[in-house]
Structure 1
Amino acid sequence: MTTTRFRDSARYWRTPLLPGADLLTAEYHDHEFTPHWHDAYTIPVIEAGAETYRYRGSRHVAEAGSVPVINPGELHTGSRAMDEGWRYRVLYAPVDYLQQVAEDIAGAAQPVPWFDADVIRDIDLAQRLSHAHRLLEANGDPLAAHAAMLDALSTLLVRYGRTRPDVPRSVAGDTRVRTMKERLSEALAAPVTLAELADAVGLSPFHAARLFSRETGLAPHAWRNQIRLQRSLAPLRAGVSVTEVAAASGFTDQSHFTRHFRRMFGVPPGRWQGT
């Protein structure tokens, strides 16, 4: 019996029916996503093969028919879990959009939805999400497509939506990390040294780097690159050239920007921009 090996192929696209959302139809074999996060909820449905990823301190495997939701701002990776690779569809749902759906369901104000780290194995939910995703991609009947997506998202929220648990943290550590994040997020094209970062919080460079990495899961330079990539999306979407966006984002050149962008999004910025 022969099996089909998936190829690295991805298409990002958007629809006016879900303002601010990005959607992805893709299959991967060789590509490996480096540790990264998204500002939106990552809501995938695995249609074939299997993906493995690290998330919230554990390694998970999501096989066909599963829905491995990632909360916004949460660090995760991604690569094949079997020789063939995997094929999936993903909705990157803005936080305010999903919260509004939750409030519409409850008929009252609701906290920001949160999902447990475990892979959701719910064939009915997977079929609803896949069906809605396909209808949106086909760009046919907008009434049917919008209704199908609201049905899928409401099913996800009713069955699996939670409130984010309180996690005890060091107040001093939080304040220092927040200060370092603010410093790293300013003037992204300007260089920042570890010594400058450490001075801003009254620590040695060694202790500043260790604290930041422990609290965020990334070294300061890697975290800053994530911010650069996240902020590059708006100008790319607005039609600014990849060369200009790379320079404004603080990358040394276009190839440097493209390399990091592809590791995070699975496609080069020019192809992402052309969706």
Structure 2
Amino acid sequence: MNLPRFRDSARYWRSPLLPGGDLLTAEYHDHTFSPHWHEAYTVPVIEDGAECFRYRGAHHVAETGTVPVINPGEVHTGSRAVDEGWRYRVIYLPVDYLHGLAAEIAGREQPLPWFGADVIRDPDLAQRLSYAHRLLEADADARRADPEPRTAPGGNASALALPAPDPLAVEDALLDALATLLTRHARTREAPIGPHVNDPRVETMKALLAADLPAPLRVADLAQAVGLSPFHATRLFTQATGLPPHAWRTQLRLQRALGPLRAGASVADVAAASGFADQSHFTRHFRRMFGVPPGRWQSS
């Protein structure tokens, strides 16, 4: 039996009940996510189909009902694992938010929560996350609804009203889902992967790459800053981060572009301020990372 294919469709939004976080409801068939990273914890729940991805040097498949968590700053990819594609809901959790929640649960300061590379197969957790995400989406829809009463056919002014979920119930569901994730599956951050992850020379190169995003840089500039040849500087950086310096900087530019886009800056202005050659260059990279062009991300 041939199952219907999902279409490439994504919707991002924010909620005041999750300060600083982003939420995504999406389905994909043709779209492929190139290697990238996020500054937040990426917490997806696969609702249908299956996704495959590269993460920590291994190939993974996340099928329906699983939760493939990605830690902040870690490089990963994404594409369909079955013919029909996949549909999922994602919560992008700010590091400070989840770290603070872990401390609240424990009643004392905690190390930064970290998650293993294996796909989490916990149906109860998946159900809690999906439920919380759906309530957040309904709450966001209600907040955007027309505040003026609309009259339905027959004169019933309330028939078309979109009732908002109780914010207390929404937040309770979110905290319940995240507490379940933390108590069952979080651990202390693992030992660094590879010999160069915490190398101070890598941190020096990162700082130089991040200092002035529109400014042109050469590998020779990075190499000189850490006392290595250009070849060895590039190899060290790539081994430590999973991306060569130029690709890592492109990801950082995309992450830093989100704030101005949220604030209403034009896509063209954000592209120029972020150091992209032009708007089309920015749009191409943005879509590879977020699954939608920046204008659509901004409008949602």
Common topology (TM > 0.5) = yes
**Deviation string for 1:239-270 (max 9, x for gaps)?**
11110000000000000000000000111111
SS of residue matched to 1:121: coil
- After superposition, the Cα gap between the structure-2 partners of 1:4 and 1:169, relative to the gap in structure 1 and judged at 3 Å, is closer
Residue in structure 2 matched with residue 21 of structure 1 by the alignment: 21
- After superposition, the Cα gap between the structure-2 partners of 1:172 and 1:128, relative to the gap in structure 1 and judged at 3 Å, is closer
Residue in structure 1 matched with residue 209 of structure 2 by the alignment: 184
1:6-155 matches, within 5 Å, as 6-139=6-139, 140-155=165-180
Q: Give the stretch that moved more between structures: 116-125 or 97-106.
A: 97-106
Corresponding letter in the other structure for 1:273: Q
Extract unaligned runs of 5+ from structure 1.
none
How big is the shift at 1:167?
2.8
Distance, in Å, in 1 between the alignment partners of 2:111 and 2:37 is: 21
**Deviation string for 1:151-188 (max 9, x for gaps)?**
00001111101000233875797121111111111211
CA contact (8 A) 1:173 1:211 kept: no
Residue in structure 1 matched with residue 187 of structure 2 by the alignment: 162
Q: Give the stretch that moved more between structures: 21-30 or 200-209.
A: 200-209
**Deviation string for 1:169-221 (max 9, x for gaps)?**
75797121111111111211111011122111111111111111111111111
Tell which structure's C-alpha radius of gyration is larger.
Answer: 2
**Deviation string for 1:4-54 (max 9, x for gaps)?**
100000000111000000000000000111111111110000000000001
Runs of 4+ displaced beyond 4 Å: 168-173
Q: How well do the aligned residues superpose, as a CA RMSD in angstroms?
A: 1.4
**Deviation string for 1:104-150 (max 9, x for gaps)?**
11111111111111000011110000011001100122111110011
Identity of matched residues, %: 72
SS of residue matched to 1:42: strand
Q: Give the stretch that moved more between structures: 77-86 or 95-104.
A: 95-104
SS of residue matched to 1:12: strand
Q: In the comparison of the two structures, how many residue pairs are matched?
A: 275
Corresponding letter in the other structure for 2:105: I
Residue in structure 2 matched with residue 259 of structure 1 by the alignment: 284
Residue in structure 1 matched with residue 240 of structure 2 by the alignment: 215
Distance, in Å, in 2 between the alignment partners of 1:203 and 1:266 is: 37
Residue in structure 2 matched with residue 238 of structure 1 by the alignment: 263
